[in-house]
Chain A
Amino acid sequence: MPPAKKKPVRKKKAAVRKKVVRRKRKPASKKSARRGFPWLKWLLGLTLLAMLVVGGYSLYLSQVVRIKFEGKRWAIPARVYARPLELYVGANLTTERLQAELRALGYRKVKKVDSVAQWSRSGSRFVFQTRDFLFWDGMEPSRRVSLRIGGSTVAALKDAASGKSLDVLRLEPPEIGSIYPSHKEDRVLVRRDELPDHLVAALLAAEDRDYFHHHGINLYSIARALMANVRAGRTVQGGSTLTQQLVKNFFLTPERSLWRKANEALMAIILDARYGKDEILEAYANEVFLGQDGDRAIHGFGLAAYYYFNRPLNELNLAETALLVGLLKGASYYNPRKHPERALQRRNLVLQLMVDQGFIDQKTADKAMKQPLGVGKKGRLSNARHPAFIDLVRRQLQRDYQEEDLTSEGLRIFTTLDPWAQQLLDKQISSGLSGLEKRRKLPAGTLQAAMVLVSPQGGEIRALSGGREAGYAGFNRALDAVRPIGSLIKPVIYLLALSHPDDYSLVTLLEDEPVHLKDARGRVWSPKNYDKKAHGLVPLHRALAKSYNLATVHLGLALGVRNVVSLLHRLGVQRELSPLPSLLLGAVSLSPLEVAQFYQVFAAGGFRSPLRAIREIVDAQGQPLQRYPLEVAQVAEPGPVYLLDRNLVEVMRAGTGRGIRRYLPESLEVAGKTGTTDELRDSWFAGFSGDWLAVAWVGRDDNKPAGLTGSSGALVLWGRVMKALKPQPLGLLPPEDIVYIWVDPQTGYLSADYCEGAIAMPFIRGSEPQLRSDCLGEERRGGSFFERLFD
Chain B
Amino acid sequence: MRIGVAAFDKGLPLPANRALIRVLFEALRATYLVAGLIFVGFLAGCATTPVPGRGGPVSNVPAESRVPPPRSNGRYQPPEVTAYREPATPKYSRPEPARAVQALSRRAEDQRASGQLVAAAASLERALRIEPKNAVLWNRLAHVRYEQKQYALASSLAAKSNAFAGQDQALRADNNKLISRSR
Verify if A71 is at the interface (C-beta below 8 Å from B). yes
A408 and B163 contacting across the interface, CB-CB below 8 Å = no
Partner of A458, one of B55, B66, B132: B132
Verify if B170 is at the interface (C-beta below 8 Å from A). no
A650 and B74 contacting across the interface, CB-CB below 8 Å = yes
B130 and A88 contacting across the interface, CB-CB below 8 Å = yes
Verify if A582 is at the interface (C-beta below 8 Å from B). yes
Verify if A63 is at the interface (C-beta below 8 Å from B). yes
Partner of B54, one of A72, A530, A703, A761: A703
List, in ascending order, chain B residues with CB within 8 A of A580's CB. Answer: 57
Could you show 11 A-B contacts with beta carbons less than 8 Å apart?
A71-B6, A91-B130, A408-B3, A547-B63, A549-B62, A585-B61, A591-B53, A701-B50, A731-B92, A733-B90, A740-B80
Name the residue of chain A whose CB is nearest to the CB of B32. Answer: A183
In Å, the complex CA distance between A585 and B104 comes to 46
A530 and B81 contacting across the interface, CB-CB below 8 Å = no
Contact with B along A271-300 (1 / 0, CB 8 A): 000000000000000000000000100000
Residue among A542, A606, A759 with the highest chain B CB neighbour number at 10 A = A759
Chain B nearest Cβ from A225, distance in angstroms: 29
Chain B nearest Cβ from A520, distance in angstroms: 12
In Å, the complex CA distance between A734 and B21 comes to 73
Verify if A42 is at the interface (C-beta below 8 Å from B). no
Chain B nearest Cβ from A771, distance in angstroms: 15
Verify if A173 is at the interface (C-beta below 8 Å from B). no
List, in ascending order, chain A residues with CB within 8 A of B114's CB. Answer: none
B7 and A586 contacting across the interface, CB-CB below 8 Å = no
Verify if B115 is at the interface (C-beta below 8 Å from A). no
In Å, the complex CA distance between A634 and B157 comes to 9
Within 8 A of A (CB), among B103-142: 103-104, 118-119, 121-123, 125-126, 128-130, 132-133, 141
Verify if A210 is at the interface (C-beta below 8 Å from B). no
Within 8 A of A (CB), among B55-91: 55-67, 70, 72-87, 90
Name the residue of chain A whose CB is nearest to the CB of B133. Answer: A457
Verify if A483 is at the interface (C-beta below 8 Å from B). yes
Name the residue of chain B whose CB is nearest to the CB of A666. Answer: B77
In Å, the complex CA distance between A324 and B57 comes to 60
In Å, the complex CA distance between A1 and B3 comes to 55
Count B interface residues, CB 8 Å.
86
Given A59-B17, A72-B3, A458-B128, check contact A712 B66 (CB 8 Å). Answer: yes
B87 and A88 contacting across the interface, CB-CB below 8 Å = no
Partner of A738, one of B7, B72, B87: B87
List, in ascending order, chain A residues with CB within 8 A of B4's CB. Answer: 68, 71
In Å, the complex CA distance between A548 and B59 comes to 16
Verify if B52 is at the interface (C-beta below 8 Å from A). yes
B7 and A709 contacting across the interface, CB-CB below 8 Å = no
Given A629-B121, A711-B66, A711-B67, check contact A456 B132 (CB 8 Å). Answer: yes
In Å, the complex CA distance between A548 and B83 comes to 29
Within 8 A of A (CB), among B134-162: 141, 152-153, 156-157, 159-160
Given A63-B17, A745-B75, check contact A482 B58 (CB 8 Å). Answer: no
List, in ascending order, chain A residues with CB within 8 A of B1's CB. Answer: 183
Verify if A587 is at the interface (C-beta below 8 Å from B). yes
A646 and B67 contacting across the interface, CB-CB below 8 Å = no
Count A interface residues, CB 8 Å.
119
List, in ascending order, chain A residues with CB within 8 A of B81's CB. Answer: 740, 753, 760
A676 and B64 contacting across the interface, CB-CB below 8 Å = yes
Residue among B1, B3, B57 with the highest chain A CB neighbour number at 10 A = B57
List, in ascending order, chain B residues with CB within 8 A of A67's CB. Answer: 7-8, 10, 12, 21
In Å, the complex CA distance between A656 and B8 comes to 66
One of A340-348, A349-357, A521-529 at the interface: A521-529
Verify if A10 is at the interface (C-beta below 8 Å from B). no
In Å, the complex CA distance between A90 and B12 comes to 62
Given A86-B126, A408-B3, A702-B51, check contact A656 B62 (CB 8 Å). Answer: no
Partner of A86, one of B55, B63, B70, B100: B100
In Å, the complex CA distance between A604 and B160 comes to 9
List, in ascending order, chain B residues with CB within 8 A of A703's CB. Answer: 51, 53-54
Name the residue of chain A whose CB is nearest to the CB of B124. Answer: A630
Verify if A197 is at the interface (C-beta below 8 Å from B). no
Within 8 A of B (CB), among A38-53: none
Verify if A330 is at the interface (C-beta below 8 Å from B). no
List, in ascending order, chain A residues with CB within 8 A of B118's CB. Answer: 627
